[in-house]
Amino acid sequence: MDTISHSIIAPKLTIFRYGLSPSKHLTLRSNSTARTNAASRSRVSAGIKIQNPPIDFSDPDWKSKFQSDFEKRFNLPHITDTFPDAEPIPSTFCLKMRTPVTEEFRGGYPSDEEWHGYINNNDRVLLKTIYYSSPTSAGAECIDPDCTWVEQWVHRAGPREKIYFKPEEVKAAIVTCGGLCPGLNDVIRQIVITLEIYGVKKIVGIPYGYRGFSDKELAEMPLTRKVVQNVHLSGGSLLGVSRGGPGISEIVDSMEERGINMLFVLGGNGTHAGANVIHKECCRRGVKVAVVGVPKTIDNDILLMDKTFGFDTAVEEAQRAINSAYIEAHSAFHGIGIVKLMGRSSGFIAMHASLASGQIDICLIPEVPFHLHGPHGVLRHLKYLIETKGSAVVCVAEGAGQDFLKQTNAKDASGNAILGDIGVHLQQETKKYFKEIGITADVKYIDPTYMIRACRANASDGILCTVLGQNAVHGAFAGYSGITVGICNTHYVYLPIPEVISYPRLVDRNSRMWHRCLTSTGQPDFE
Q: Which residues are annotated as a binding site for ATP?
A: 179, 243-244, 268-271
Is-cis flag, bond preceding 54, omega within 30?
A: no
CA distance 298 to 344: 10
Burial string for 75-100 (b: 16+ CB within 10 Å, else e) reads ebbbbeebeeeeeebebbbbeeeeeb
328: Cβ–Cβ under 8 A, 6 or more apart, which residues? 335, 337, 444, 446
Contact between 465 and 307 (Cβ < 8 Å): no
Contact between 28 and 43 (Cβ < 8 Å): no
- Listed in sequence order, the DSSP H helices in 58-157 are 62-73, 79-82
- Nearest residue to 245 (alpha-carbon basis) of 466, 413, 67: 413
Contact between 296 and 236 (Cβ < 8 Å): no
CA 219 to chain centre: 28
486 forms bridges with which residues in the sheet? 493
Q: What separation in angstroms does the CA of 411 have from each of 34, 493, 501?
A: 11, 33, 19
Contact between 315 and 5 (Cβ < 8 Å): no
CA distance 489 to 267: 22
- Nearest residue to 336 (alpha-carbon basis) of 407, 394, 264: 394
Q: How many CB atoms lie within 10 A of CB 69?
A: 14
CA distance 423 to 446: 8
Q: Which of 299, 301, 361, 461 is catalytic?
A: 299
For residue 90, what is the enclosing H or E element? strand 89-90
Active site residue 299: yes
Query: What is the DSSP code (8-state) at residue 4?
Result: G
Binding-site annotation, residues for Mg(2+): 269
Using the Cα atoms of residue 510, residue 302, residue 228 and residue 98 in order, give the sign of their dihedral: positive
Binding-site annotation, residues for substrate: 297-299, 342-344, 398, 450-453
CA distance 395 to 351: 9
Task: Calculate the dihedral angle through the C-alpha atoms of 30, 1, 222, 190, rounding to the nearest 10 degrees.
Answer: 10
377: Cβ–Cβ under 8 A, 6 or more apart, which residues? 370, 371, 526
CA distance 344 to 367: 10
CA distance 44 to 509: 7
Query: What is the DSSP code (8-state) at residue 111?
Result: -
CA distance 354 to 1: 45
CA distance 337 to 62: 53
Binding-site annotation, residues: 179, 243-244, 268-271, 297-299, 342-344, 398, 450-453
Catalytic residues: 299
